[in-house]
Structure 1
Amino acid sequence: MAYFEKLKLQIATPKNMKKYFLIIASLFTIALSAQDKQVIKGTPPTQYIEHKVKDGETLGSIGRKYGKTVAQIAKANKIKTSGLLKKGAVLKIPVTAKNLSTQPATNTTSSASGTAIYHKVAKGENLYKISQAYHKVDVKLLREWNGLKNDVVKVGQQLIVGYIKSNDNVSAVKSAPAQEPVIIQQAPVTAEATPVSTAPAKKEEIPAVKEKEPAATTTPVTPVAAPKTIAPEPVAKTAPADEYAYTPQQGDEGYFAIPYAKKEANATQQFRSGDAATFKTISGWSDRKFYVLINDVAPGTIVRITGTNNKSICAKVLSSLVETKGGTGLLLRMSNSAAAALGMSDTRFPVSVTFFE
């Protein structure tokens, strides 16, 4: 009994309490570090890591972080490319030779080549077998990254096998203003600027030219006079039928806010969110007619685009979005005048979109 009392007093001394506190803190730090590690799961060729969605993240921003497209992440998780992401949701991020680098600058978990990816050693594995499973990474690199003096590994040991290639820096370079595509406005857009109109320009009728009639002759031997033609009467050029009485005002949602408000009674509101960029155009700077390129929305649809500053504009869909350099993972491209009206000066920025169909 006296022994246990003595042991209790030894544990309760300030010196021992400090020692046990340091041990507990160390264990907590180790456990937290283990949770932060990106341990690869699955088997080739369907290996993946997991990402926990944070507030404000989109498929586009996550895709850039891990070097994957929106479509690839959506397919791996069986979700729509335009679907909303819930904070705290866990996404599978495919790991392939295209986004797994085997030549980082350093062996830290935040090297210039991306985030470190770990493999958990299974029974019967050795460094050579592991290197073959990860695109034949050099065994010397595996030893260097993990501080190993030889090829001996233990079951359950977590080893760095590569680094995720991030597209953040690449996107920033490719999305520079000099690389922005220049969109030439086609006939439907140009016609809308015409001041008078009751019918679409494409329905403009061109008067037919009357058939040529030979001139009368005096005798059979007289040469036939040159045939006469009657010139068509000039027809006034018409503008599209969707012309509305509108006076541009700084800060409003633009010309297309009028048709957006005139939605059909049985129309269903749709929602999209993601990253946006711009294209160059002369339209919209004075008449505030804004245009947008977006996939899965019918051309001619009027959409409302809202920025992170809660400013919004209404724009007309010209056509689908064609992927260009620096455009990976984009939801849409809007006219540069629309981006200016939204107060967006970055080459790439998050937006939300609503429309009716």
Structure 2
Amino acid sequence: MRSPVTVLFLISFLFIQFAHAQTPSNQLTVFGQTGKLYLEHTVVAKENWYSVGRLYNVSPKELAPFNHLALTQPLAIGQVLQIPLTHVNFAQDGKKTPAETLIPVYHTTQEKEWMYRISVNHNRVPIATLEKWNNVNKDAVRPGMHLIVGYLRVKTALSALATDPAATPATAETKTVETKPAEARQASPASTTADIAKPISTKTPDSPIAKPISTHTSPETTRTVTQSPSAPPSPHFDGGIFKSEFLDNGKNSTGVAGIFKSTSGWQDGKYYALMNNVAIGTIVKVTETAGGKSVFVKVLGQLPDMKESVGLTIRISNAAAAEMSQTAERFNVQVSY
């Protein structure tokens, strides 16, 4: 007979797993604490400082220094950027201009973390506001829950995030942001408003923008991005964690695969790919023709328009290639999706 402590542990574990399963896969997750709140973004093909800045409504001149990088440094596919949340692009009072869209930003609750601590760590947003946004009582907070702690404000005409189903489109009834000094806006207490969208539970294909490749590091840690990860030369994740999400729709093609460098996949089994004519977020099964080994990769975007892409059907991350024990720059594959 199991002890009460064991039973309680199992119940808590199952609850956390259920909470994760119910979370929209394309949600924006906040990291850091009051004073340095940020999102994470994984760079895809053809992105630069300016396109990423437009996506999150942040100036490139602010974005680069926040990541301890120079604006003159080009971005690399798979590179992870921290996106600062400031009074310009982060709303906790429901205010936005008619040209802006609000997108929910979530925090994942931890063990022994209650609503008061969540409030303190996220610009002291009122507990009553958190309760209303999430339709939950403060005493019902449990580990593993995903709670809205604010809204990303993006320019509707400039950001692809504005098309997210969870976003709140700008309307004629939207409150106009008051023209206060920046310091006044930062100090203003958050309040609830009816025009903020509620979180959705409909699962949509993962967005490489909304779901970053790398895991969270502490705000005090300086992130150094390199072109090749310092990781085991041959990860083993039984094809990668996206294997369980693969849906075989009967589409197949054979061709040549190439490799791109990425910091993802070496420690977490998250493998990614670039492929034309396939929707972003699609899980693709890549099988090496010679050895028969397979990996399951998520499409980040199209093949870059460069000479290295000529003749390629797909490019997969170097961690995915390593799991296939593939060291050649190009090799024959079968692609299923």
Whether these two folds match at TM > 0.5 is no
- Taking structure 2 as the reference length, the TM-score comes to 0.36
For the pair shown, the structure with the greater C-alpha radius of gyration is 1
